[in-house]
Structure 1
Amino acid sequence: MKCYKCQSENKENTKNCKKCGADLTPMPLWKPTWKWHARTLGAIFGALIAAYFLLNHLLKPYMRQIPSEITPWLAEAQKQDAAEKK
């Protein structure tokens, strides 16, 4: 591994240059900020919400209706809701 300051040759696992003492640890190329995280999460949540509503709209003809004989409590709740609205 060559030093970026003095160009002297060093061992691969050394942290400092043996000649000039420069730091030889590799610098991270990019570190995400909180703004990047917020923007990325916002884009993901926005895409998920849009996909939910789009699929809900497109798949409405394929959604089944549950018969009231199977779920009588739902029929009673619908009757109560209708009575409360009047």
Structure 2
Amino acid sequence: MFANQIMHIGNYFRGRLDDTYLNGALDYVNHNEEPLAIETLCEHLSEYEITITKNEYNDIILLIHKMGLSELDPPYSYLEELIK
């Protein structure tokens, strides 16, 4: 249901997040594990301190809300610190 949106957001980080981590996170989409895909992607962004834009942040937050997740929960709660 959210696969295309997750893949689109993931592509924002090509060239900034190591392909191994990015592809690993996005591969969960292929196994119908969409919540795990976005959670893993956000964990990697936070863990490797990948700078994100305000628009990227907004897109992620909008998606997690659509998925019934909360930006107050880790790893989403760490994303705002990455905005530059």
TM range (shorter): under 0.3
Greater RCO (CA < 8 Å, at least 6 residues apart): 2
Q: Which has the larger helix fraction?
A: 2
Per the normalisation by structure 1, the TM-score is: 0.22
